[in-house]
Amino acid sequence: MSNIPYKFYLDEKDLPKSWYNVRADMKVKPAPLLHPGTGAALKAEDLMPIFAEELCRQEVNDTDKYIEIPDEVQNFYKMCRPSPLVRAYYLEKALDTPAKIYYKFEGNNTSGSHKLNSAIAQAYYAKKQGLKGLTTETGAGQWGTALSMACAYFGLDLKVYMVKCSYEQKPYRRNVMETYGANVIPSPSDTTEVGRQMLAEFPGSKGSLGTAISEAVEVATHTEGYRYALGSVLNQVLLHQSIIGLEAKAAMEKLDVYPDIVIGCAGGGSNLGGIMASFMEDKLLGKTHPYFIAVEPSSCPSLTRGKFVYDFCDTGHVCPLAKMYTLGNGFMPSPDHAGGLRFHGMSGIISQLYHDGYIDEARAVDQTKVFEAATLFARTEGTLPAPESSHAIRAAIDEALKCKETGEAKTILFNLTGTGYFDLAAYDAYNKGILSSYVPTDEDLQKGFDYIPKFDFLKDK
């Protein structure tokens, strides 16, 4: 081993005190959210019935480069942060590569993921505003767990609409949330208009993320003292997740290294949006030129095969329109697709940066190749990774193998955002050789694209 330690932790005193708002450095800002009825660009005030007030201000703020992390949030971060910057010596050895692989390990907390970084911020601002509680939806369960922990910490009530098939297949996820005091409701439910309509139309429905979002938003906007919280896609979420990249860069500076390649998986954008933070700042300012790779599942290929247009964020059409790479709000990934990263769209920030070439490459990977990488990683580096994060592992391994061919000793950084402890059914399927490799056909994609709205006011946008 070199003089670089296997794991490096920043001292508490060196932890970032502000989040980094990448929009301040973007020449072309992400397009604003639009009102689906009028086409008007939404201001902070327009969002306040949905989100806590300060979060609405953060959502539309594309000028302040740094936003102070409140003391209460910094205190909570001390429980789960700093996360280590790990040099993947054992993976490098197994690959016999000259590449130097680093990963920021964000998943070593009870939520099993990086979602806690934004959950605690969203809960804090809700508490500060004097709200009584929050609503949200969850699919795989990482976000719901994170928000349950955050709400328990601040004494907020929480209603989680959990996609019914997950509610039934992942009772343990539900049990964790309940242990933290959350009220977990299978969606579609009879507690909302949207849910009742869905149940009337499709009595045996096992639910979808889109319906769960619509239910959670309905309850938040119709209940005194409640607001809605979302774990990805939004600008505010990428702001909070910037803590990952800020810490990664601070740690790398202490070790006197800098990445040639930065890799994150891309579902809604919170993973890549988190790790890229300060490195993207360097690139936007022309200081350095790291190569950014967004990795997505080939079964849900928003960046590689989607369109960069305005679309609804939810299937129930209760949310605003966002300009993003999208497969269309009616797109449904194959049920055989394991794990998260099943959102039809993509963060507006990530979309704009990709469109403008600051994110250099989007790469779609097959899920059996993802689990192959995950298994190698588990056996060499010890940690069983989440399927989502394993997309980034796949790309990191492939880049390291390229280095082996060329003899280059590139420095690769990727974001290990989660652990796979609640995803073992997928590992079991992979171990048994029955994991599917389904990729949507162009015809499948066209069905999704047909859902993209064609309002008059969207022409030329």
**Contact footprint for a copy of itself (CB under 8 A):** 1, 5-7, 9, 11-12, 75-76, 78-80, 90, 108-110, 112, 149, 152-153, 171-172, 175-176, 178-181, 375, 378-384, 419, 421-422, 424-425, 427-428, 431
Half-sphere exposure of 364 (CA within 13 A, CB side): 15
Q: What whole-number distance in Å separates Cα of residue 177 and Cα of residue 171?
A: 10
Instruction: Return the number of the residue (154 or 258) whose C-beta is nearest a copy of itself.
Output: 154
Contact assessment for residue 361 and residue 461, using Cβ atoms and an 8 Å cutoff: no
Least Å distance, CB 198 to a copy of itself, is: 27
Least Å distance, CB 389 to a copy of itself, is: 13
Instruction: Return the number of the residue (175 or 288) whose C-beta is nearest a copy of itself.
Output: 175
Least Å distance, CB 330 to a copy of itself, is: 33
Q: Which amino acid is at 306?
A: G
DSSP 252-276: HHHHT---SEEEEE-SSSHHHHHHH
Instruction: Return the number of the residue (257 or 378) whose C-beta is nearest a copy of itself.
Output: 378
Q: What whole-number distance in Å separates Cα of residue 234 and Cα of residue 58?
A: 10
What six digits make up the tokens of 183? Answer: 């009220």
Instruction: Return the number of the residue (184 or 198) whose C-beta is nearest a copy of itself.
Output: 184
Least Å distance, CB 323 to a copy of itself, is: 37
Instruction: Return the number of the residue (47 or 80) whose C-beta is nearest a copy of itself.
Output: 80
Instruction: Return the number of the residue (279 or 427) whose C-beta is nearest a copy of itself.
Output: 427
Q: Which amino acid is at 431?
A: N
Contact assessment for residue 181 and residue 171, using Cβ atoms and an 8 Å cutoff: no
Least Å distance, CB 186 to a copy of itself, is: 15
Least Å distance, CB 342 to a copy of itself, is: 21
DSSP, collapsed to helix, strand or coil, labels residue 319 as: coil
Instruction: Return the number of the residue (280 or 426) whose C-beta is nearest a copy of itself.
Output: 426
Q: What whole-number distance in Å separates Cα of residue 406 and Cα of residue 267?
A: 31
Least Å distance, CB 32 to a copy of itself, is: 36
Phi, psi of 382 (to 5 degrees): 95, -45
DSSP, collapsed to helix, strand or coil, labels residue 9 as: coil
Burial class (CB in 10 A: 0-12, 13-18, 19+), 456: exposed
Question: Which of 145, 195, 190, 196 has the alpha carbon at shortest distance from 166?
Answer: 145
